Amino acid sequence: ASIVVLPGDGIGPEVASAGVAVLRQIATRFGHEFTFAEHAIGGDAIDRFGDPLPPQTREALLAADAVLLGAVGGPKWSDPNAPVRPEQGLLAMRKLLGVFANVRPLKLHPRTAALSPLKPERTKGVDLVFIRELTGGIYFGAKTRSEHDATDECRYSVEEIERVVRHAFALARTRRRKVTSVDKANVLETSRLWRSVATRVAADFPDVALEHQLVDSMAMHLLTRPADYDVIVTENMFGDILTDEASVLAGSLGLSPSASIGGPGAGVYEPIHGSAPDIAGQSLANPLGTILSAAMLLRHSLGLTEEAAAVEAAVDHVLEHADLTRDLGGTATTHAVTRAVIEACN
């Protein structure tokens, strides 16, 4: 399998190479051949090529079986009025690959649950997955700007809604059979369409329960009763906010993986944390979010279920027995934690 690696900015290169090291180990142990090709994205690509998603990266992405991404952005390129910005690379990549479903599982590990800002009785039993629509909505709608005002259009087609909602229902079938669809149907026309499509799709999944939640209520319920949710599906902008809110429950951003899938070609796998430029280059970054993203890559893009489970078991082992990085209260380096995972993969 041919895997494109996009190290990106800040701690991106460190965590990406941790993910690659684990994938190499899996290839050896299970007798697969993985090839890795590094390409530029984000701030790094702007600095080197003046383009946050240069043509050679685009070409490689279109030919890849899967993509492992580190992190993108940083204060160096943070002027929102700059004509070329790192996050444009991310958005262009999502559109190019057509990865309309951003999947973010949220589970609490006993050792990190203690770091959650929520009381333990609230987070007990949390095991949910967000499916965020990733290639539509206000992110990609028409924009205008004049001296006097500005506009952003949110547009959703029936097809865009249907495919991501179907994805959520199919996933719920492999889990606790409950889908929560989040919208703002009391105000937005796109949300009313979203709700009606979700209701229609639900008819094809009679074994899965569908509930509708308004986005403002969801922002509350994520904190008051997160254990009640199984699969939560929502549009791009609401998903951006709610997945970040939910990620805090886990106690550390450093552990959470994500997958952006559903396109005709490669899926993109990346930790949910940012580029953390303040700790870049010091082997302080937690590699586990990227390593768990690599596990999702094995499962979703390469169909290697046993291999994915081996990586996840190794991470569980490390979480229980090894020294961890600073964000988890430990003193271990990125390298040491990565080595511990690799050893546990054997």
Ligand X SMILES: CC(C)[C@H](C(=O)O)[C@@H](O)C(=O)O
Cβ-contact 289, 250 below 8 angstroms: no
The residues binding a second copy (CB under 8 A) are 80-81, 85, 87, 91, 117-119, 122, 138-139, 141, 143-145, 147-158, 184-193, 195-196, 215-217, 219-220, 222-224, 237-238, 240-245, 247-248, 253
Tell me how long the chain is: 346
In three-state secondary structure terms, 252 is coil
Binds 209: which of a second copy, ligand X, none (CB < 5-8 Å by kind) = none
- In the numeric block, which tokens belong to residue 223? 């904190």
CB neighbourhood size of 189 (10 A): 11
Residue 301 is classified by DSSP as T
Q: Is 177 labelled a binding residue?
A: no
In three-state secondary structure terms, 180 is strand
**Where does residue 281 fall: left (phi above 0), alpha (psi -120 to 50 degrees), or beta otherwise?**
left
Q: Is 132 labelled a binding residue?
A: yes
- Provide the CA 283 distance to its chain's centre, in angstroms: 22
Q: Is 83 labelled a binding residue?
A: yes
Q: Is 281 labelled a binding residue?
A: yes
Minimal distance, residue 260 CB to ligand X, in Å: 9
Footprint on residues 199-218 left by ligand X (CB under 6 A): 216
- Block residue for tokens 């940012």: 274
Binds 138: which of ligand X, a second copy, none (CB < 5-8 Å by kind) = a second copy
Question: Which amino acid type is present at position 288?
Answer: L
Minimal distance, residue 174 CB to ligand X, in Å: 25
Minimal distance, residue 63 CB to a second copy, in Å: 28
CA pair distance 69, 272, nearest whole angstrom:
10
240 is a contact residue toward ligand X (CB under 6 A): yes
Q: Given the complex with a second copy, which of 250 and 341 has the nearer CB atom?
A: 250
Q: Given the complex with ligand X, which of 19 and 52 has the nearer CB atom?
A: 52
Q: Given the complex with a second copy, which of 113 and 311 has the nearer CB atom?
A: 113
Minimal distance, residue 71 CB to ligand X, in Å: 10
Residues with catalytic annotation? 139, 184, 216, 240, 244
- Provide the CA 241 distance to its chain's centre, in angstroms: 13
Cβ-contact 304, 296 below 8 angstroms: no
87 is a contact residue toward ligand X (CB under 6 A): yes
79 is a contact residue toward ligand X (CB under 6 A): no
Report CA torsion sign: 228, 247, 163, 192: positive
Among 6, 66, 68, 90, binds ligand X (CB under 6 A): 90
Q: Is 275 labelled a binding residue?
A: yes
Cβ-contact 7, 38 below 8 angstroms: yes
Binds 195: which of ligand X, a second copy, none (CB < 5-8 Å by kind) = a second copy
Minimal distance, residue 173 CB to ligand X, in Å: 26
Q: Is 47 labelled a binding residue?
A: no
Minimal distance, residue 185 CB to a second copy, in Å: 4
Q: Is 316 labelled a binding residue?
A: no
In three-state secondary structure terms, 331 is coil
238 burial via Cβ count (<10 Å: 0-12, 13-18, 19+): buried
- In the numeric block, which tokens belong to residue 346? 């054997």
In three-state secondary structure terms, 145 is strand
Task: Tell me which stretch binds ligand X (CB under 6 A): 11-19, 84-92, 150-158, 301-309.
Answer: 84-92
Residues that bind ligand X (CB under 6 A): 87, 90-91, 186-187, 216, 240
Binding residues for Mg(2+): 216, 240, 244
Binding residues for NAD(+): 74-87, 274-286
